[in-house]
Amino acid sequence: SKPGDTYQSIINQLEIDNKEKKKLLNSILKEKSLKLLRINQKFIFKFDHLNIKRIISFKIETDKKNEIIFTNNLDIDKFSVKKIKKNFTKRLAYKETAIIESLYKSAINLGIKPNIIIEFARLYGFQVDFQRDIWKNDSFQIIYEEYLDNDNKIVDTGEIIFANLNLQNSDLQLYKYEY
C-alpha cells in the first residue's frame, strides 16, 4: 500500500466481479485489527485460474509479526478468516565500535536499526549530551534482541538488554532489569 491508498482503492484495481469486490471489502472492514491501513502494508492475492474474476484467498500483514488469511468460502459465499502468528526466532545481537563522526553514523554503519539507536540515545539522554560529551574514539557496546524470520532475515528488534558508553575512558553501563 502507498500513501493515500484505501482498502477500497486497492480492491478496485483488481479485475474481479463487483460482487466479489464488495465481499472482499466487507470481510476486511469487519476485522478490527485492520481498522487502519498502514503504508507499506503487504497484500497478497491468489486468483482462481478457472474463474479469473474471482479470488481464492488473500493475505494481509497486520504487522511484522502477524498476518490474516481470508479464504473464499464458496459454500456460504463469504470469506473465512484465519489469524496467523508468524514464526520468529529471537536472538541477541552484540555490537561495539569506536565513535568516529557521530554515534548515529557509527551505529548505522554497524547495521544497527534506527529504532535501537534512538532508544539507546534516549536511555542516555539524561546524563549525556551527544553533541558535546562525545569525543572522537569514544566507544559504545550494545546488546539487544533481534527477531528473525524463517529465512534468517531480521524482521524486528526488541529490547536493549545491555548498553555501555565509554566516554574518555569512563564507562556508563546500563542493564535491563526484569521485574
pLDDT tens for residues 121-165?
999 988 898 888 889 889 999 999 998 887 888 888 889 999 999
Q: Which of 20-24, 35-39, 99-103, 152-156 bottoms out in mean pLDDT, i.e. has the lowest?
A: 35-39
All 3 cell numbers of residue 24? Answer: 472482499
Predicted confidence at residue 163, as pLDDT, reads 95
Average pLDDT over the chain, rounded to an integer: 86
Sign of the dihedral defined by the CA atoms of residues 52, 63, 104, 162, in that order:
negative
Predicted confidence at residue 19, as pLDDT, reads 86
Rounded to two decimals, what is the model's pTM?
0.57
The DSSP secondary-structure symbol of 149 reads -
Which tens digit of pLDDT belongs to each residue from 66-96?
Answer: 888 999 887 788 888 888 887 788 899 999 9
pLDDT surpassing 80 at residue 41: no
- CA-to-CA distance for 20 and 15, rounded, in angstroms? 10
Predicted confidence at residue 61, as pLDDT, reads 82
CB-side exposure of 1: number of CA atoms within 13 Å? 20
The pLDDT > 90 percentage for the chain reads: 27
